[in-house]
Structure 1
Amino acid sequence: MDLVSLIGTILAFVVIVLGTILKGSSVEALWNPAAFVIVFAGTLAALLVQNQGKVLRQALKMLRMIYRPPRHQPADLISRIVGWSEISRRQGLLGLESQIDAEADPFIGKGLQLLVDGGEPEAIRGVLEVDLETREAIDLAGAKVYEMAGIYSPTLGIIGAVMGLMAVMQNLADPSKLGHGIAAAFVATIYGVALANLFMLPMAARLKGLIGKQSQMREILIEGLVAIAQGDNPRQIEAKLQGYLS
């Protein structure tokens, strides 16, 4: 569990509620069913129009990455690659066959299998780079769903505010309803702007950062496996891959 992201999410809610109270309003004033439907359901409708179902499913699947991010430890991966190169020098590439089943990451398993099968270095690079680019494109499409939600929601908040003001204008003859009506109209704006700037856009940026780290890990793996296939010395491989740590 990433406590920093969890604390940030909780703090976002606290800021809205506490800010409302400090401004002299009440927490109840933040709740408006009509504004909720316009902003949240409207944003969802826009995302459904824009994206295919598989992209939305990928976005939902990636949501847990924010609070349970995958571990990115390039130093450990480099150490493992150097270990594989030492095994290959002592036992040959077939000596790595026992390492394949022990790998939980299918990308690593595929790379080791290509190595054990005696693939040419550039062939190994080509196959794994296609996988890397495909995976990265899928993940970035999922992250973009949150980014687009952050773009749509403020506009829908304005739409909700305008619709609320239209309702107020229809009740100008009753002054007792004006204050409550205007306050309710601007709740939609709060929903839209808060959803975008406290949740959707930060989540999209967070996911893009995690995707970048995951891609870097896979680049390290590709370079390491290609170096092993070329028969490079383990110390040379380690020195080359250390550049990623800087």
Structure 2
Amino acid sequence: MDAASLVGVLLGLGLIIGAIFLGGDLSHFFNLPGIMIVVGGTIAATLITFQLKDVIAAFRAAIFVFSEKKSDPNDMVETMIELCSISRRQGLIALSRIEYENDLLRKACNLIADGSKEEMIRDTLNIEIESMKQRHFIIQDIFRKMASYAPSFGMMGTLIGLVQMLRQLNNPDTIGPAMAVALLTTFYGMLLSTLFFLPIAGKLKDRTLVELINLEIMFEGAISILEDNNPVFVYEKLSSYVPAKRRRPPRPTGAAYQTG
């Protein structure tokens, strides 16, 4: 669980709900037609803009933001150093007998074990990196678009409420409540945009940057393995991707991976 995301959402909702309680009744801020306009309209516009499979992938990614901790580049540094040590002790072919959790790392090590040249490995990993960037950009763009659609549909709901209110001007007692209901849709749109959609897009962008660092570490580590570099040299090279205060010291090799 990503504690920062959970705390942020709970804190934001808590402050807003607390402010509502201090100033009135929470039930006054519930309006089903307004919710239908904002939520339904935002989803409809998003489905018009993007393919269904991309929208589903975006919501899965949003769940991932809250359910998974952010990966640590130090882990990838340790992995590449371990693989470098294995290749030096048992040969490059040993890399093909290791079980990997990361599909791209498996591909890179299989290319190395098959005797591929550096240019081949470089081109393959660069294609994977660019493809990952494109996929993540689409997912982030979905939430950025939803962040712009929600306030627009909120304003649309407000206009609908104002039209309905103006049709009842002959009854002054209904003007105040009708105006309050009309403004609620704008509130819903702004709430979804600023507390959910934009933060999720920002969190996904942060995860993408970390993933790019991991891929760069993987790429440079694969090249180092191909060049049969010393693990100490590989650590000094790959740890440069991690801020100095967050770097882990190199650990003894030989325990992380076992060949079959």
Q: Using the alignment, how far apart are the partners of 1:37 and 1:236 within structure 2?
A: 59
The equivalent of 1:97 in structure 2 is: 96
Q: Using the alignment, how far apart are the partners of 2:226 and 2:10 within structure 1?
A: 49
Which amino acid in the other structure matches residue 219 of structure 1? E
Which amino acid in the other structure matches residue 16 of structure 2? I
Cα deviation 1:60-109 (Å, max 9, x = unaligned)? 2201221123542222221221221122222220122222xx21111111
Which amino acid in the other structure matches residue 7 of structure 1? V
Secondary structure at the counterpart of residue 115 of structure 2: coil
The equivalent of 2:8 in structure 1 is: 8
The equivalent of 1:44 in structure 2 is: 43
CA contact (8 A) 1:114 1:124 kept: yes
1:213 to 190, 210, 213: 210
Give 1:134-213 correspondences, 5 Å limit: 134-213=131-210
| Number of equivalent positions | 243
Q: Which runs of 4+ in 1 moved over 3 A?
A: none
Which amino acid in the other structure matches residue 16 of structure 1? I
Q: Give unpaired runs (5+ residues) of structure 2.
A: 244-260
Q: Using the alignment, how far apart are the partners of 2:75 and 2:200 within structure 1?
A: 27
Cα deviation 1:210-242 (Å, max 9, x = unaligned)? 111012101100110012112223222221111
Q: Using the alignment, how far apart are the partners of 1:21 and 1:80 within structure 2?
A: 51
Give 1:52-67 correspondences, 5 Å limit: 52-67=51-66
Q: Percent sequence identity over matched residues?
A: 29
Secondary structure at the counterpart of residue 116 of structure 2: coil
CA contact (8 A) 1:56 1:145 kept: yes
Q: Using the alignment, how far apart are the partners of 2:5 and 2:225 within structure 1?
A: 38
Q: Using the alignment, how far apart are the partners of 1:209 and 1:166 within structure 2?
A: 43
Cα distance change on mapping 1:10 and 1:70 into 2, 3 Å: closer
CA contact (8 A) 1:21 1:27 kept: yes
Q: Using the alignment, how far apart are the partners of 2:69 and 2:87 within structure 1?
A: 29
CA contact (8 A) 2:146 2:193 kept: yes
Q: Using the alignment, how far apart are the partners of 2:90 and 2:138 within structure 1?
A: 42
- In the alignment, does 2:105 pair up with 1:76? no
Q: RMSD in angstroms over aligned alpha carbons? A: 1.4
More deviation in 71-80 or 154-163? 71-80
Q: Using the alignment, how far apart are the partners of 1:5 and 1:46 within structure 2?
A: 26
Shift of 1:121: 1.3
Cα deviation 1:165-199 (Å, max 9, x = unaligned)? 11111100011111110000000010011110111
CA contact (8 A) 1:121 1:227 kept: no
CA contact (8 A) 1:65 1:207 kept: no
Q: Using the alignment, how far apart are the partners of 1:104 and 1:38 within structure 2?
A: 43
Q: Using the alignment, how far apart are the partners of 1:236 and 1:62 within structure 2?
A: 36
CA contact (8 A) 1:66 1:203 kept: yes
